[in-house]
Structure 1
Amino acid sequence: MDLDDAYANGPHIPDGDSFAPMWREKAAAFRAATPGVLNQSYGDRPREVYDLFVPGGAALSTVVFVHGGYWRSTDKDLWTHLAAGPLARGWRVAMVDYDLCPDVTIPQITRQVAQAVGAIAARCPGPLRLAGHSAGGHLVARMLDPAVAGDWLSRVEGVVPISPLSDLAPFLKTSMNADFALDAVTARAESPVHQPVPDRPVTVWVGGAERPAFLDQAAWLGKAWGCEVVVRPGRHHFDIIAGLEEAGSDLTAAVVGQRDR
């Protein structure tokens, strides 16, 4: 199997090249129209920042969203519009940025995201709910490892990894590993399927029209953790996240822990 092709999304999605410009336009429009505190530092490096959006009135609590991009591309400013759904339901939403491979390693990115969640937890009282897409799905799953998380882990009430990468072993055989510099030891250590089974709710979300490799990755995490895997028919890797733009979507409800209520 050609694993580079197996994990390639854009070439297999109709008009795949159109999504990033659309997201950036939506995200910029959202920031222009929505009060928020932008580029809040959680560390000393330029990309160690997050944006925080707060609803009118008392916030129910805080959602932390971590973007994807195969740990080597994009930034939080491409995804800001995905805060719209939880924000409209009365939740604070923090959008996290981090450094990219090959400037840093995946283990370093994991530590950065843990540091970011800690800074957000210190600023925002109450429970936390974590969500992330693709590589971001991997990163929020990693936050449930007690060896990674801080004291804030006790405040995490739910995690929704969306199209997550849960076992990094396949990436050892991709050209992307030139940037990742993974070996068998680090790939296993950074794979959520091999970390302790979490003791809090996790719902994996994936599109039914995604590449088989992503359906496998979602299924592997569900099996390893004994958690629910929601497969949304007809959704692919680029539109599976669209529900976060809407307050009434099933995905937004899952992220804020209010499904079937």
Structure 2
Amino acid sequence: MDKAQLDAAYNNSQAVADFPALLTSFKSMSAEIWPAYAHRRNIRYAPQQDSARTRLDVLYGAGPGRKTLLFIHGGYWQACDKEDFAFIARPFLDRGINVILIEYTLAPQQTMTGIVGEIAQAISFIDANKAALNIEHSALYLAGHSAGGHLTSLFRSDRRIAKAIPISALVDLLPISLCWLNDKLRLTSQEIERFSPVRHIAPGMETLVCVGGGELPELVRHSKEYAQRLLQRGEKARFCAVADDNHFSLLTSLADADSDFFKTVYAFIND
């Protein structure tokens, strides 16, 4: 594909009707979460850094909370806030699973190398501070959507993570570097190689690779190829294509306790 084709192939917001209204609905649904559940907000996980975005929110599930889902938001590494996606937590919280929303510094203020480093710091902080966060006896599960799915894939080999759930993950950064997304990311050749999960399949945790069946073909390709590579390398992995969901309706399905997608993810966590 030439640049114009790549620009269209990775423009998720243009592929759906009225994306601004959709994001507003996400924010509205998320705002309803905070009064309904016990929580702690804006905990700094890298206080030594001069960044207001190295922070996380903890939402506490009903019951003993023996499992905690870490969720990394999307936005192509250059947009959105953790608060925008709190709505996905509801069905997990209702079933006793804690949810931690992780934020990170966005491009161009941060490089890809720096973003990956911040997620590493967040995981280390959470693991080292389980007692202080009141998740002392909780196993950690890592999930993320889009750019967050990419970051999730990079940490599936982290032994502190019980299982990984990359959703609509972008696992090859080469086409990302050739389209409009690189205007802010400014990926280096070293970053493209080092941080493309599909190029580095190492032994890791069991992984559920998810994508919407109605997403842009390039997004579906990333997930299919990643799942295939994991299986070819003998890794314990499953591929989940969610009916006709697009890049964003996939999240509303995840937030719906009656959806097949939520049931699949919940079963995967509890297997």
TM-score (norm 1): 0.91
Q: What's the counterpart of residue 112 of structure 1?
A: 118
CA distance in 2, matches of 1:57, 1:32: 18
**Could you tell me the percent identity over the aligned residues?**
30
The answer to whether the 8 A contact 1:165-1:214 is kept is: yes
AA in 1 matched with 2:250? I
Instruction: State the 1:219 CA deviation.
Output: 1.2
| 1:29 CA drift (Å) | 1.4
- State whether residues 134 and 165 of structure 1, in contact with CA within 8 Å, keep that contact through their aligned partners in structure 2: yes
- How far the C-alpha of 1:258 sits from its partner, in A, is 4.2
Aligned partner letter, 2:7? D
**Counterparts of 1:175 and 1:63 in 2: how far apart (Å)?**
32
Amino acid at match of 1:100: L
Aligned to 1:165, the other structure's residue is in SS state: coil
CA distance in 1, matches of 2:45, 2:267: 26
Say yes or no: does 1:164 pair with 2:135: no
Distance 1:185 1:258, change over 3 A: closer
**Are 2:94 and 1:84 aligned?**
no
Q: Does 1:179 align with 2:184?
A: yes
Distance in 2 (CA, whole Å) between partners of 1:259 and 1:139 is 19
Q: Is the 8 A contact 1:161 1:203 kept in 2?
A: yes
- Contact 1:138–1:164 at 8 Å: present in 2 too? yes
By how many angstroms is 1:35 displaced? 1.9
Q: Does 1:33 align with 2:39?
A: no
Give, in whole Å, the separation in 2 of the partners of 1:23 and 1:199. Answer: 32
Deviation at 1:233, TM superposition (A): 1.6
Residue 176 of structure 1 deviates from its aligned partner by: 2.0
Q: Paired residue for 1:233?
A: 243
Partner of 2:261: 251
Q: State the match for 1:189 in structure 2.
A: 194
Higher mean alpha-carbon deviation, 249-258 vs 19-28, is at 249-258
Contact 1:94 1:120 in 2 (8 A): no
Matched residues in 2 for 1:189 and 1:207: separation? 26
Q: Is the partner of 2:205 in helix, strand or coil? A: coil
- Listed one character per residue, the Cα deviations across residues 160-198 of structure 1 (whole Å, up to 9, x for unaligned) are 101000000101211221211112221111101122333
Q: Which whole-Å CA distance do the structure 2 matches of 1:203 and 1:56 have between them?
A: 25
Return the offset for 1:232: 1.2
Deviation at 1:85, TM superposition (A): 1.6
Following superposition of structure 1 onto structure 2, how do residues 203-222 of structure 1 map, counting pairs within 5 Å?
203-222=208-227
CA distance in 2, matches of 1:197, 1:160: 16
Q: Deviations over 1:186-226 (max 9, x none)?
A: 11111011223333210111111100010111112112211
**1:18-64 per-position Cα deviation (integer Å, ceiling 9, x unaligned):** 21000011111111322200111101221111000112331121110
2: distance between equivalents of 1:177 and 1:200?
30
Deviates further, 49-58 or 207-216 = 49-58
Contact (CA 8 Å) 2:163, 2:269: kept in 1 or not? no
The one-character-per-residue Cα deviations of 1:86-132 (angstroms, maximum 9, x if unpaired) are 11111111000000000011111111011111212222333211110
Say if 2:30 is the partner of 1:7.
Answer: no
Q: Which amino acid aligns with 1:179?
A: K
1:127 aligns with 2:139: yes
The runs of 5 or more residues in structure 2 that have no matched partner are 232-236
**1:129 partner letter:** Y
**Partner of 1:65: helix, strand, or coil?**
strand
Native 8 Å contact 1:129 1:256 kept in 2 = no
Aligned positions of 1:133-144 closer than 5 A: 133-144=145-156
TM-score (norm 2): 0.88
Are the counterparts in 2 of residues 49 and 98 from structure 1 also a CA contact under 8 Å?
yes
Gap change, CA 1:138 and 1:65, over 3 Å in 2: same
Matches within 5 A, 1:35-54: 35-44=38-47, 45-54=51-60
C-alpha separation between the residues in 2 aligned to 1:63 and 1:251?
A: 16
Structure 1: segments with no counterpart, 5+ residues: 146-152
